[in-house]
Every structure is written in C-alpha cells, then in structure tokens.
C-alpha cells in the first residue's frame, strides 16, 4: 500500500517549481494552497499541484525527492508535460 508521495507544485505553466514529499498529499497540498507554512512556496506563491507519484516507503520517497531536485529544470518540465500536458491543478482529482 502506498504511504508516501513525491510531488511538484508550480506557480504557473513554465514558472517557478517546488519539489516535495509527504505522507498525506491532500493535507500537504492544502497547506501550500492556504499558505499555512512559511517558506519557499509561500514566498513565491506556488500553489498548483502539477505532478505527483506514489512511493511505498519513506526511504523511497526521500530518494526520489532528492533525485528530482537534482534534475535540470528542463527534465522537470518534460516530466510534467508528459503526465499533465495542460498543467491542470491536480488537487481536486486527488480529493475525490
């Protein structure tokens, strides 16, 4: 059973990106949207969930998060474009 998620938030299409990991994707995305935590996403208004993937363990999620953070911007954009070409906010789809 999946317990963790690695995700990417964006300010807008081809704009500032944020890579993170969480145990509760719905709760964490909502925290970003409501700017409940000080930090990078609040400072730059990054609120749109554009990509996420499951991980079975904390270690796997942490490894993948670090991997994505090291990727060049172009690679992150390609990952988003491949999985979410319209750059739709995926938050509503995960809440259903």
Q: pLDDT tens digits, residue range 5-42? A: 999 999 999 899 999 999 999 999 999 999 998 899 99
Cα 80 versus chain centre, distance:
10
**Domain architecture of the chain: domains with CATH:** 4-95 (3.40.1440)
| Mean pLDDT of all residues belonging to the chain | 95
The pTM of this model reads 0.95
CA distance 57 to 71: 21
């Amino acid at each position: 059973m999946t317990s963790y998620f690695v995700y990417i938030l964006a300010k807008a299409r081809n704009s500032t990106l944020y890579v993170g990991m969480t145990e509760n994707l719905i709760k964490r995305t909502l925290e970003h949207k409501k700017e409940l935590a000080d930090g990078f996403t609040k400072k730059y208004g990054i609120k749109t969930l554009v990509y996420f993937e499951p991980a079975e363990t904390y270690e796997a999620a942490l490894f993948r998060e670090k991997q994505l953070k090291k990727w060049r911007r172009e690679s992150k954009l390609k990952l988003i474009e491949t999985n979410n070409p319209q750059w739709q906010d995926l938050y509503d789809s995960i809440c259903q």
